[in-house]
Chain A
Amino acid sequence: MMMEYFEQLEDGLRKAIASGQASPRKIYSLEVARLGKRLYSGTNRVAWCGITAPFDLLGAMGITSCFVEFIGAMLASTGAAGEFIEATEHIGYSSDSCSYHRAVTGAAIKGLMPEPEFLIGTTNPCSGGLAVIENLAAHFKKKLFVLHVPQDESGKNVRYFADQLRDMTAFITDVTGITPDPEKLKMAMTNTNRTRSILAEIYDLARGLPSPVTSKELSNFGIVMALFLGTEEAVNVAEAYRDEFKHRLAAGATGRPKEKFRLLWIQNRIQFKNPIEKLLEDEFGARIVIDELNDITWDPIDLDDIYGGLARRSISIPFNGTIEKRVSHLRKLAKAYQVDGAVNPCNWGCRQGTGARGLIEDGLKEIGVPVLNLEVDCVDSRKFTEGQFRTRLEAFVEMMESRK
């Protein structure tokens, strides 16, 4: 089922691009489809990982790696997550736990998760994700290496984490017999650095007044692009966005005609088909110009200290550390992108999301940015009622309007 889905997706996108209907989002989605195909091909060496694993390092070693939540999001976007979530609940999982994880676990139960060669868990930002990886390791009877990601970027922590990355590499060699080729590794890191600098340009362009970005174009972008880092394709995707945004700005045109309100989206988007972005733009004149996870918080990787650079990158992700660090990052984004408000979907069952909700709200309110907290399951569409969301979003926009 998933292989067919990714094949059809790739096919459709390739045809659209070839027929002159290319767009940055299509070029990006094509890479998503290709990653999906590689994961499900049955011939590639696959590793299931936590969100903060170094995917470019794994890629340079010839491993197709991916965070498990990607599958939860993909199942949601196909509209099929419900049955997988149910399968997980049938074996006793709480219906209050994160549905990215219930969907992935359901996929494993139903034989829809490709068998990995090994697994790399990460303790941050999501302990639920680590539990899923541990379950998958038991399910597939495969070896697991856990990266203990520190929360702040002290020199000691960077060294500690860099050593773990070296140990992880040795573990992979042990399991697969592959040793990292220094040349391939350097080439991957060069691509990572090139992508990094173009991404920084894209995010800079998105700050424009009005912004050249539409609400949907960069959804899930930062977190998924991490999976392509180290490759030439990542550079191509990033260039497509940069060139398009530059072109729009030069032509004086923006993604959409109206931009009454600029919004910051906190954490992940809603993964199943839903009308929120369209409603915001078409009816309320509000546009998501920045997502919390679309930012570059790390320096280019030093080719003479690759492990140190990768360690610093993982630790730097603001979602990874204390709430204080996360709030100050959100405040920085809110100011840089001159947003009028922020939307926090607070995915049901996400401890990171809901646990931080009050502090995030207070932190943004202090700088004059109101926050709309939604109660939404970002993966399970069965819990979504459009009327409820419409009222909350519309009332939030009316409130921002009265403040103008």
Chain B
Amino acid sequence: MYYLGIDIGSLSSDAVLIDRDETVLATSVVPTGARNQEAIERATNEVLQKSGLTKDRLAAIVSTGYGRNRVTDRLCAVTEITCHAKGILAFYPQTRVLIDIGGQDSKVILLDADGKVTDFAMNDKCAAGTGRFLEAMARALQVDIDEMGELDKGAQAGLTISSMCTVFAESEVVSLIANGTPVKEIVNGLNRSIASRTVSLVKRVASDLNGYAVAMSGGVARNNGVVRAISEALGGVSVLVPELPDTVGAMGAALIAKERSGG
């Protein structure tokens, strides 16, 4: 029996296929684009192809993410909060604080010693500091988003990007470029501004980290610079990042699929 977890986010749709031993057989990350039905199909087909299985071998599908209710043949839809919490424990069972920064949401989830969600906080009012924010900044800097994670290396770390609004931050970045500010300093400033927002969310659920293990999931966790900045802003706490941080939500969904279908 096989179990599929699928996470339809605003930027990417991710799928994870596991077997009854909870071994990951295949993962897939595809852009969501304008039509999430297509993204759902593509992500599903990709994992099936990679694992050489056909859809009828799936015992259950659980969906998560903003498009979770668009997955028609699901067993159930579960929120990203529960799925990310469940998923991260498969990689780091000691996690007590999970930071998840996705395309338009950032959230911090507090887990108890049994892995249950005891509190969570999400970004409010706007999507500053999320994946879309970073995308806009990469565009302004004319760099590839995937390169951005290393571009802050060697920065003096003194620059502050004061605008939280994506549009204003973008024009701030453009003026900094025009003034000849080195890219590494700008990237570092952006990373630290995301970190400071994230740490406020962390403090909302855990005013004192008490030695808790902190992990990070979501597409932004692929950006080492942001992870480093968050770690520094948390006072040097190391932040655990799984190899494929985008797929943590889908992994959680796959595990829930197994659990709820009696697998």
Contact = CB atoms under 8 A, between A and B. Distances in A.
B119 A370 contact: yes
Interface in B63-118: 66, 78-82, 105, 116-118
A261 to B, nearest CB: 15
Interface string A362-384: 00000000100101000000000
Contact of A403 (B66, B116, B124): B116
B78 A398 contact: yes
For this complex, into which size category does the number of interface residues on chain B fall? 10 to 19
A402 B79 contact: no
7 contacts: A391-B80, A395-B80, A398-B79, A399-B81, A399-B82, A399-B120, A402-B82
Nearest to A362: B207
Contact of A391 (B79, B116, B118, B121): B79
A387 B117 contact: no
A170 B82 CA distance: 61
A395 B116 contact: no
Interface of B: 66, 78-82, 105, 116-122, 124-125
A394 interface: yes
Contacts of B122: 391-392
Nearest to A392: B122
Contacts of B105: 391
Contacts of A387: 66
A98 to B, nearest CB: 15
Contacts of A370: 118-119
B66 A394 contact: no
B124 A395 contact: no
A40 to B, nearest CB: 35
Nearest to B125: A375
Nearest to A375: B124
Nearest to B67: A387
Contacts of B116: 402-403
Given A375-B124, A391-B79, A398 B117 contact: yes
Nearest to A376: B124
A350 to B, nearest CB: 14
Given A370-B119, A391-B66, A398 B124 contact: no
B81 A398 contact: yes
A363 to B, nearest CB: 15
A28 B105 CA distance: 40
B124 A402 contact: no
